[in-house]
Amino acid sequence: MSFLSYLVSGISLGSIYALIALGYTMVYGIAKMLNFAHGDVIMVGAYAIYTICITWGLPPLVGVLGSIVICAVLGVVIEKVAYKPLRKASSLAVLITAIGVSYLLQNAALLIFKSDTKSFTSVVNIPSLDLFDNQLHIQGETIATIVVSVIIMIALNLFINKTKPGRAMLAVSEDKGAAQLMGINVNSTISLTFLIGSALAAVAGALLCSSYPALSPTTGAMPGIKAFTAAVFGGIGSIPGAMIGGVLLGVIENLSKGYISTQFSDAIVFGVLIIILLFKPTGLLGKKINEKV
């Protein structure tokens, strides 16, 4: 039974990585940049919930919705202020800016909330599940994480493949100029992508801190890096790739923790990534980049 239990919590952790990885991969697809501040948006979202629910005592749903709105706005503002002026700059300049934004967010949190770890109260209140004569115990948070993630991924797929703004996102990520010739507003499509990615980060933050209830200004850093790894693992720029990469990463991490070593689980995760990239440099579902003639 312990295998099943590791597997289930691995899928749950992996779903959180997947939600974060979606933000990385969508932004990469459309803006061709690695938004290293993305992980810190999770942290901002979690502090938003902490403030709304614990400091102000409002109900969890209000906290989650408030956090989504705050992160969505933050994502759009970051793009407008920090990245948009650099659209024609070298990718190194953009990368350094993204790292700068990441530090800015962490230090702003440090200033406002101080460095001590806050204990987060779960926003999930569904009962846990006991299966197989109480041998398999599944937390309510785990169930909520998996269910919410599946719903979000289905909704995102429908949005991208069935709606006009979704198609516009695909068109812009392939060829901005051609998309503009179709009448697509490239700037607002990029804003929309940041908005969606950051809103997903807020949800990921709520789920993450509900399962692992310790909140500090660097809370977003490690899951951010792991989710970035998941996005690369699945093939950066690919939406299904981010979903699969995220879940796989969570499962590998949890199984390594369970069967090999808690200390080395991260090393194992990154080791697997390196091996995969050696054999398939574009990641699991990554496309070869088409050379333009």
Partner 1 sequence: MAMLEIKDLEVCYGVIRAIKGISFEVNQGEVIALIGANGAGKTTILHTITGLIPAKSGSIMFEEKDLLKTPPHKIVGMGMAHVPEGRRVFQNLSVLENLKLGAYTRKDKAEISESLKMVYERFPRLEERKNQVAGTLSGGEQQMLAMGRALMSKPRIILMDEPSMGLSPLLVSEIFDIIRVISESGTTVLLVEQNAKKALSIADRAYVLETGNIKLSGKASDLINDESVRKAYLGE
Report the C-alpha gap between 235 and 289 in whole angstroms. Answer: 11
Compute how many residues bind partner 1; rule: CB under 8 A: 21
For residue 131, what are the β-bridge partners? 136
- 293 contacts partner 1 (rule: CB under 8 A): yes
Task: Tell me how far the alpha carbon of residue 77 is from its chain's centroid.
Answer: 18
Nearer to partner 1, 63 or 166 (CB): 166
- 85 contacts partner 1 (rule: CB under 8 A): no
- 170 contacts partner 1 (rule: CB under 8 A): yes
Out of 7, 167, 221, 270, which residue is the one contacting partner 1 (CB under 8 A)? 167
Q: Show Cβ contacts of residue 7 under 8 Å, excluding neighbours closer than 6 positions.
A: 251, 254, 255
- 163 contacts partner 1 (rule: CB under 8 A): no
Binding segment for partner 1 (CB under 8 A), chosen from 64-72, 79-87, 177-185, 264-272, is 177-185
Of 221, 224, 220, 242, the C-alpha closest to 233 is 242
Q: What is the DSSP letter of 125?
A: -
Nearer to partner 1, 105 or 168 (CB): 168
- 89 contacts partner 1 (rule: CB under 8 A): no
* CB distance 209 to 223 below 8 Å: no
Binding segment for partner 1 (CB under 8 A), chosen from 51-59, 250-258, 265-273, 285-293, is 285-293
* CB distance 140 to 128 below 8 Å: yes
Binding segment for partner 1 (CB under 8 A), chosen from 2-10, 113-121, 176-184, 201-209, is 176-184
Binding segment for partner 1 (CB under 8 A), chosen from 49-57, 102-110, 173-181, 254-262, is 173-181
With tokens 């051609």, the residue in question is: 178
- Residues 235, 238, 240, 243, CA torsion sign: positive
Q: Show Cβ contacts of residue 247 under 8 Å, excluding neighbours closer than 6 positions.
A: 11, 14, 15, 17, 18
**Site residues, partner 1 (CB under 8 A):** 164, 167-168, 170-171, 174-175, 177-186, 287, 290, 292-293
